[in-house]
């Protein structure tokens, strides 16, 4: 799973960026980094407090987290198939 650090994520810690991008807890994001499952610009990064710069490519090892398309932050507000509208 790859993404490029955009303006929304720039300035955040690596763990914080993963948390925002994938909707996971900060503890989960920190664990991913510390266990070597995350690369920044092709290099394994184990410092969850590192702040990747705008435009850097972040890679999370395949299988390290389960991300469902409907759970990505970009999809919020669009609803998921099968969700019923309230009201």
- pLDDT at 68 (0 to 100): 53
Beta strands 2-4 and 38-40: pairing type?
A: unpaired
Residue 83 to residue 16: CA distance in whole angstroms: 28
Per residue in 4-62, pLDDT tens? 999 999 999 999 999 999 999 999 999 999 999 999 999 999 999 999 999 999 999 98
pTM: 0.72
Residue 47 to residue 7: CA distance in whole angstroms: 21
Per residue in 56-86, pLDDT tens? 999 999 878 765 544 455 544 444 444 444 4
CA–CA distances in Å: residue 73 to residues 18, 23, 45, 48, 62: 11, 7, 23, 20, 19
Q: Return the closest-CA partner of residue 10 out of 49, 57, 48, 53.
A: 53
- pLDDT at 67 (0 to 100): 56
């Amino acid at each position: 799973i790859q993404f490029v650090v955009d303006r929304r994520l720039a300035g955040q810690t690596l763990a914080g960026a993963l948390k925002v991008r994938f909707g996971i807890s900060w503890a989960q994001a920190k664990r991913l980094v510390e266990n070597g499952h995350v690369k920044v610009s092709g290099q394994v990064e184990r410092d969850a407090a590192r702040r990747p710069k705008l435009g850097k490519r972040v890679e999370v090892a395949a299988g390290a987290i389960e991300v469902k398309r409907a759970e990505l932050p970009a999809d919020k507000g669009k609803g998921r198939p099968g969700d019923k509208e309230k009201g």
